[in-house]
Structure 1
Amino acid sequence: MLRTLVPLGIISIGFLWFIREPEVEKQPGNILRINMTQDPSTLDPRKSSDQFSSALHFHLYEGLMRITKNATAEYGMAKDIVVSADKKTYTFHLKEAYWSNKDPVTAYDFEYSWKESIRPTFFCPNAHMLYIIKNGEKIKMGEMGVESFGVTALNETTLQVELEHSAPYFLQMLSFPVFYPVPRATAILDSKWSKTQDPPANGPFTCVSFKPNEEIILKKNGNYWAKNEVKPEEIQILLIRDESTALNLFEQKELDLIGGPFTSIPVDSIHNFRKKKALKQKELALTVFTTYNVQVFPFNNPHIRKAFSLAINRESIVENVTLNGEKAASTFVPPILKDTSHALASTFDPDGAKEELRLGLEELKIKSLPQLTYQYPILGCHDRIAQALQENFRDILGVEVQIEGVEFKTFLTLLNNKQYQFGQFLWIAMYNDQYSILERFKNRKNFRNYPGWKNWDFVDLLTKSEAAFDPHTRNRYLEKAEKILLDETPLTPIFHGNYVYMEQPRIQGFYISPIGSPHLQWVEFNDKKPLK
């Protein structure tokens, strides 16, 4: 029986747009009040495509494994795990657990959820994570039927999973939302189950109210198997997009928390709060980057991509623009995911940028670049970063780039559909392994492969890493793969980031994992007084 804890991690972030500050009623001390700057796109954990939805899913559902306060993974819905000698077959025995509607959580719920996610017609942005399971990728690509998927419910309490290859990170993956169960009986009867009032949940909380652009109410799930660990009776989530409005509410003690991953603290206020020692900071497996659509002119040319990459002054951005203690990036994989980290790519090089631009124009047989648009999400300080890059491109390359802020959900759609020239975004690792960052580039059709890039040497190195049992050998393969990614420059890493946040003295126990998952279920209250 497998009894060990497994390191884990994952993801989230927050930011804004609103007009009028709402009146906030005074509440008893066991109600936690926070703010999120974007509406979650879905309550269905299989369809999560953004950090806001994932932040909610971590509190509504639970997978076979769950994250602990020590950034490890332990049994969630699983009671015992048996692993075959070749480490390719996992047999999960489930504990007695119930959905919030009192139906039992069964192995059939997991089997149904995963098999629906892998169907070619089912929208599942993180389906690539299921490719670790036997025949997963072939099924998603329409080459095999879903009955060939390596997931079988042997009975109500036993789930057997066959992998394509042994994977030291497999158990870590299982606490990410794409691996959560959905209530099979409910979902079969109503395909829109997640949009109904108070949909069944098997995690610490249930969602009893969701008013878009206004408020979400979570209630403690009395049927959750570990309900005694859950401290808040209720979480009230305001959906205010303006960061200054949210900060004002926090300063009036009408919010308990502000900052990542729910709401950004205004950049202009960071220095003052840091001087007061009010800020808390958490290093994350988070990277902000520029992405180039390699399928469209002129970014189908590697020299053009490298020219823009070398023109980016990363050090200046973290020192003068973001001001959150970020680290200028010369790798794609964040340092927190590596035992050792050293530069793999050239960074700021004005002369090199000009030479790459000359070579690119020569290869494309043009004298100058066409009008280019650099897009970014209206989110936190992305606008300031984009303005700094616009200045870099003008001063170093002599190229006037138009910058355009796009509403968050619309921007995600543009990236996923490759309907952009170049732009700016971020990622957070979905589990505590560098493979979480690199695997998205194995398949050009992956939603998370924003540039639409593929390289067969890169794929071959990832495949070799999958078969490597020795950690040092595996890391060598992965580093070589990352070097190819950096050399080909479908993206440019700008900096590795942190979450900064503040909390009221009345609460304690709020935890953010090193990979960014928030955990409100452990928040305790120092008193039972109202917020104000």
Structure 2
Amino acid sequence: MKKLLATLMIGASAVLLAACGNKTSSSKRRSVSLMQTAELLSLDTSNHADFTTWNTLENSMEGLYRANKNNEPAPASATSVVKPTNHGLTYTFHLRQNAKWSNGDPLTAQDFVTAWRRSVSPTAKSGYNYIFSGIKNADAITASKKSPKTLGAYALNKHTLQVKLEHPMPYFNKMMVLPAFFPENSTALKKFGSKYGTASKYMYYNGPFKVTGWNGTNDNWTLKRNKYYYDKKAIHLDELKYSVVKDANTAHELFDQKKLDDATITGVTAKGLQKNQDLIHERKAGTYYLRLNLRSGQPLANQKMRQAVSLVLNRQQLTKDVLADGSEPAYTYTSRDLAKDPTTGKDFAEETTPSDPYDVAKAKKLWAQGVKEAGQKGTVKMNVVGDDQTITKNVAQFVQASIKKSLPDAQVTVKSLPAKGQQSAEQTGSFDMEQVFWLADFADPISFMSILQSSNPQDYGKYKDNYFDKQYQEASSSHAAEVKQYWQNMRNLQDRLNTTMPVVPLYQMVESHLVNPNLKGVLRHPVGEDDYTRAYLSH
């Protein structure tokens, strides 16, 4: 998801403690609480995208598909997984005729068309309009060259949505599980206007639950059953209760106090609990990294200086001593376990890993050369910007100490900001290094590569490389359906990033969760958001 790149967070769920119940007995406990590590800023997918938003909407909204237990697209609002026609250029979705919104309105094809037009518009603020690229006229619309009404998404009738592409996209069905492609209720958009999605009452929901109790600023909200949901028998819980918990030690304490049943833990807290019987490790196809500011005149606009920063970071030490939660070193921007290169049979990230990811002696030489090339005089002052979670601060301090120890005349200041503050710094370019997390939207390297193309609205570091853009363009158009050429493009893209270093990979997420063993039925996806909609509590 984009899951807003400014935030280093991943949602965790927790069950409100009381007596244990089972999924069939109405007399037993049927309330579950979900922990998030950052504030909820919006529910409007056209104008906002981050983990808390998407984790909340994953359980209260529904797109054409949901990801099943095998992490494959499965029918949701659509009656089946569609096979494209017209040489891979046309997808025709038939919607469930009994699907309804939480206000009782029927779900229609026009709700998807309306939402997608809002989201692809150049005025959309989510930074996610690029995800529609490949759909007819999407790029032209985002570039303000055509009207959103020309988007290749059509309501053929009340329950039939047709999508036309500009070129084949073999991964298109995988993309349809993303919250970015969720529908939006046309009545709500007209009724609430600019307030749409700014509080829970200013939206309608078409999923198993509806959001209640969020006024736009508070740190607690509740998802309650949508009485109009078409598959009520599959839903075993009455409530999903969310609260924001930023500190791992606090999460652990709440778990011990039986106030959380699924607590995400990190750092020292996690290190001491690795043998706990309630601990599980959840592997995610996501990478934590530093986004570097490449704007002219900035300290890290020089490529050799960027390479030096990467080379002084001992990622083994970071994951073992600082994180200590099962997370693994990341040596490529693209995460391991995301996809296997079908032309080589190898894990894509592993086959593109650089041979010398940690080399202090080489870093010192590159730094000296880069400083001279850039005309830097005296101390090179830099900042590293991140959110205000404890784990984020710890990682920032590791980066700060590593650079100070190994790179002469380098000084790093740590800036820990609330979510809105980091978002502002990101969008205005007020950072030298920004702590960022990217969780793949779908199981293909292009999900990572897309946000670094120079035309992408999320290219906040202002990376512009003609070779990278050309390789991406080929992969997303003429080579999209040519397996050998497509994967060569993917390898070229990652190799280019290894050299130009606009982003510095730090570690791959492996979440440590303390989980009540009575919580069952959660679909924990390595790609995308975890799904609690069919969860239940057993004896």
Report the TM-score when normalising by structure 1: 0.90
Q: Distance in 1 between matches of 2:10 and 2:282?
A: 17
Q: Which amino acid counterpart does residue 319 of structure 1 have in structure 2? A: K
Call closer, same or farther: CA 1:229–1:198 in 2, change over 3 Å.
farther
Q: Distance in 1 between matches of 2:482 and 2:387?
A: 40
- Segment drifting more, 182-191 vs 244-253: 244-253
1:280: which partner in 2?
280
Q: Distance in 2 between matches of 1:366 and 1:185?
A: 57
Task: Please give the root-mean-square deviation of Cα atoms over the aligned residues, in Å.
Answer: 2.2
Q: Distance in 2 between matches of 1:493 and 1:473?
A: 26
Matched, 1:134 2:136: yes
Tell me the secondary structure at the aligned position of residue 74 of structure 1.
Answer: strand
Q: Distance in 1 between matches of 2:287 and 2:246?
A: 23
Q: Which amino acid counterpart does residue 205 of structure 2 have in structure 1? A: A
Q: Cα offset for 1:369?
A: 4.1
Q: Distance in 1 between matches of 2:353 and 2:515?
A: 37
Is contact 2:523-2:532 (8 Å) kept?
yes
Tell me the secondary structure at the aligned position of residue 78 of structure 1.
Answer: coil
1:185-200 matched pairs, under 5 angstroms: 185-191=187-193, 192-194=195-197, 195=199, 197=201, 199-200=203-204
Matched, 1:349 2:349: no
Is contact 2:122-2:129 (8 Å) kept?
no
2:156: which partner in 1?
154
- Segment drifting more, 455-464 vs 98-107: 455-464
Identity %: 24
Q: Distance in 1 between matches of 2:485 and 2:500?
A: 23
Call closer, same or farther: CA 1:113–1:131 in 2, change over 3 Å.
same
Q: Distance in 1 between matches of 2:361 and 2:233?
A: 61
Q: Cα offset for 1:483?
A: 0.9
Q: Cα offset for 1:280?
A: 0.4
Is contact 1:379-1:408 (8 Å) kept?
no
1:479-498 matched pairs, under 5 angstroms: 479-498=491-510
Matched, 1:217 2:218: no
Matched, 1:228 2:236: no
2:256: which partner in 1?
251
Q: Cα offset for 1:32?
A: 0.9
Tell me the secondary structure at the aligned position of residue 145 of structure 2.
Answer: coil
2:175: which partner in 1?
173
Unaligned residue ranges in structure 2 (runs of 5+): 20-27, 341-346
1:4: which partner in 2?
none
When the two structures are aligned, how many residues end up with a matched partner?
A: 506
Tell me the secondary structure at the aligned position of residue 41 of structure 2.
Answer: coil
Call closer, same or farther: CA 1:196–1:390 in 2, change over 3 Å.
closer
Q: Which amino acid counterpart does residue 487 of structure 2 have in structure 1? A: N
Call closer, same or farther: CA 1:276–1:244 in 2, change over 3 Å.
closer
Tell me the secondary structure at the aligned position of residue 392 of structure 1.
Answer: helix
Matched, 1:57 2:57: yes
Q: Distance in 2 between matches of 1:229 and 1:138?
A: 42
Matched, 1:412 2:423: yes
Matched, 1:437 2:437: no
1:105: which partner in 2?
107
Is contact 1:11-1:517 (8 Å) kept?
no
Q: Distance in 2 between matches of 1:50 and 1:86?
A: 35
Q: Which amino acid counterpart does residue 249 of structure 1 have in structure 2? A: L
Call closer, same or farther: CA 1:417–1:400 in 2, change over 3 Å.
closer
Q: Distance in 1 between matches of 2:471 and 2:184?
A: 35
Call closer, same or farther: CA 1:239–1:385 in 2, change over 3 Å.
closer
Is contact 1:11-1:516 (8 Å) kept?
no
Is contact 1:60-1:204 (8 Å) kept?
yes
Q: Distance in 2 between matches of 1:355 and 1:205?
A: 57
Q: Which amino acid counterpart does residue 267 of structure 1 have in structure 2? A: G
Q: Cα offset for 1:380?
A: 4.3
Call closer, same or farther: CA 1:328–1:82 in 2, change over 3 Å.
closer
Tell me the secondary structure at the aligned position of residue 33 of structure 2.
Answer: strand
1:89: which partner in 2?
90
The Cα offsets for residues 202-261 of structure 1, whole Å up to 9 and x where unpaired, read as 0111012215334211111121122222121111212344443332221121222111xx
Tell me the secondary structure at the aligned position of residue 56 of structure 2.
Answer: helix
Matched, 1:324 2:336: no
Tell me the secondary structure at the aligned position of residue 351 of structure 2.
Answer: coil
Which of the numbers 508, 524, 528 marks the counterpart of 2:536? Answer: 524
Q: Cα offset for 1:10?
A: 8.6
2:23: which partner in 1?
none
Tell me the secondary structure at the aligned position of residue 129 of structure 1.
Answer: helix
Q: Distance in 2 between matches of 1:397 and 1:391?
A: 10
Which of the numbers 374, 388, 407 marks the counterpart of 2:398? Answer: 388
Q: Cα offset for 1:492?
A: 0.8
1:20: which partner in 2?
none
Q: Distance in 1 between matches of 2:423 and 2:453?
A: 20
Is contact 2:328-2:510 (8 Å) kept?
no
Q: Which amino acid counterpart does residue 476 of structure 1 have in structure 2? A: Q
Q: Cα offset for 1:128?
A: 0.9
Is contact 2:266-2:324 (8 Å) kept?
no
Q: Distance in 2 between matches of 1:86 and 1:286?
A: 32
Call closer, same or farther: CA 1:304–1:444 in 2, change over 3 Å.
farther
